[in-house]
Structure formats: structure tokens, C-alpha cells
Structure 1
Amino acid sequence: MQHATSSRDTKAEIHRAAVELFSTQGYDKTSLREIAEQVGITKASLYYHYSSKQQLLRAIVGTFLDDIFQVLRLPETLPWSPETEREVLGAYVDVIIAHRATGPTLLRDIAAVLAAFGDDLDELIAQSRRFQLWLAGPDPTAADRLRAAAAVEAVGAAMSIELDLQAGDAEIRAVLLDAATAVLARRGSPVVE
């Protein structure tokens, strides 16, 4: 039983090292040897957990995709209301915060991610559009739909930049949720020309 715990810890260390190296050096320029060295294991030990760099990337990004799909599917079972909107947005923010270290890797090496997740990314885009439509509220105008997309992007900004903040997760969550709900609060308002 001890071995299973040790194995999970090693996988987590491998993930952290890979995310750090992929984010700073890029996916193509990072070798499995460098990841193994950073973790303090042999390359053979790394191969025990992941047979290739692409498999490691799939594991890292796959965890994010699993979590984000779970949140994006929430509106399928929940009727829209201001309370459920805030609840669902909160769940979305939580996933973004939990995976914010993965963001620079996703953006920096989009070609590698697309190669590893082409079909999943198509479904992610479709699910995200349905999520945004739900956030737009009942009988949304074109402006409401645009506001919903902007609210999602406001939250996603936490993944697109490296946040070197002294703030903790709770404060980051509050700021992102406030930003998204502020954008949505103008729902139904006419667009100023």
C-alpha cells in the first residue's frame, strides 16, 4: 500500500516539474530527461509513469479538461436563475484557479495541445458555447451573448497570464467572480453607440 502513495506523489511531482518546464522552455524544448532530473528520479523511473512526453502532456491537460467539462455541463441540469448563475460561475472560477499553472503551457504550445487533444478541443469549444449561451440568461439579445462570452474570458484571463500575486486563492476567486458578474450585470442593457 505504501508504494501506491509514493507513486501518486511521484506523479504529482512529475506533473509540477513538467508544467514548470513546459511553461518556461516550451513543450518541444523540454526533454523527459530534464523533467526526471528536476523531480530527482531517473529517466527510466519517469518512463514507468509515462511512456512519452505526449502521454505526460495528455495527463496534465486531460486533468484540466475533465474538470472544466464537468463545470461546463452543469447548465444542462440546472435552470438559469441569478443564484444558479453565480453558483456555476463560482465552480468555473474554482477550476480555473486550480489549473492556472497549466494555462501558460496551453497557450505557449497550442500546436502540441491541438495534436494531443484535437477531438476533445472541438467538444470543449462546443460545450463552452452552450455554457456561454446559458450564462446569457433567458431570451438573450446578441449583446447579452457577447457579455456572457466576455464574462467567461474575464475568468479565463487568470490562466492566460502568470499571476505572481501575494493574494491567496480566496481573494483571487472573489476578484474573478466579481469581474465576471459585473460584466453580466449589464444584461438586458442596450449597447451604447
Structure 2
Amino acid sequence: MRAALAYASAFGVVATCVASRPAQQRDVWLAYLSTNLANLADHPVRALVGSAFVTDDPNLLGWTALALVGLAAAGEVLGDLRLGGLLAGAHVLGTLVSESVLASQVRLGLAPEAARRILDVGPSYVVAPALALGVVCGSTRGRVAAGLGFAVLAPHLFGGLTHLEVAAVGHVVAIGTALVLGPALVRDRRVRHGLLRADLR
């Protein structure tokens, strides 16, 4: 639960601070933190980290609530450290794969050169895999909450997938990463806790 509170709180504070800036300043910050090809070549770490804490979507409260629900449901069965590592990996992998696809499209002339500077920010590569993992691995209460959250988010995740659009590809990769690695991490945690309880007897 600590990871859920930490991320949801940090996202809420940072995203609100950026969104409250005058439009020109806000747009500069969003452009700087975007995980587009230009920024990944210039300042990859700052873009990869910062992009998960800002959004161009005005519904900040909704994203904060979904983050809290998803990370709480997944963290209940994974633990904070495993959850943090898994979601960080999902966010990074989703970004790198989707932007690599875009880079190939630009090289082949299937996307314009200007696509190297698209706006690609938001918490969805963290929140969507957390919700999916909560549905698959969570407790009964966690599965219900995560399922409702994923149902709200799902219609906005995969649009443009047949055209290999950046966001849709990134969501598929991030969610897939969580669903492939997450159950194994849950089993590992249960085994370790079982061994620890046995040692304490």
C-alpha cells in the first residue's frame, strides 16, 4: 500500500503543479518531459522518469484514483519493492518499444520527421499494467476494484493499435510485461514468505 500511496501522491502533486502553470510554461514542461525520440536521445533518464508524473489530460483526480486502486491491488500480492521494479520496467519497456516502432516508421517514410517530437507523457504505462495485474493476481476485493478501474481505462488504451500508434503499442507492451512477469514474482514472494514462516517455527 505504501507504493500505491507514494506514487499516487507524487503524481497528484507533480501533475497538479505542472498543470497549474501558465499555458506556455506548462507546454514547455510537458514537451521537455515527453518520452519522444528527440528527448530520449537528449535526456532519456529525465524524460523516462518525469513523463510518468505528468499528463496533458485535465482529469488529474481520475488518474490519481486509478493509480491508487491499481497499485494497491497489485501491491497487496506483490509487495512494494517487486511492484515498483515491475512497473518501472513496464513503463520503460513500453516506452522504448513503442518509440522504436515509431523510429522505424520515420526511417521508412511511414511517419513524418516531426513525429520525433510528439507529446508522449502520462501515467498510463504504470497505471494500466498495475490494474491488469490487480485483476489477474489480486485478492477478491483487489480484483473487483482493479477490474472496474481497467474497464474505465480500457476504451482509451488501444486505439490505433492496427496502425502501430505509439500509445497503443506502449500499452500492449507495458501490460504484457506485467502479466508475463507479475505472476512469477507473486509466486516467488509467496514461496519466500512460506520459507520464512517455516524458519520461524
What range is the shorter-chain TM-score in? under 0.3
Q: Normalised by the size of structure 2, how large is the TM-score? A: 0.26
Which structure carries more helix by proportion?
A: 2
Q: What is the TM-score with the length of structure 1 in the denominator?
A: 0.27
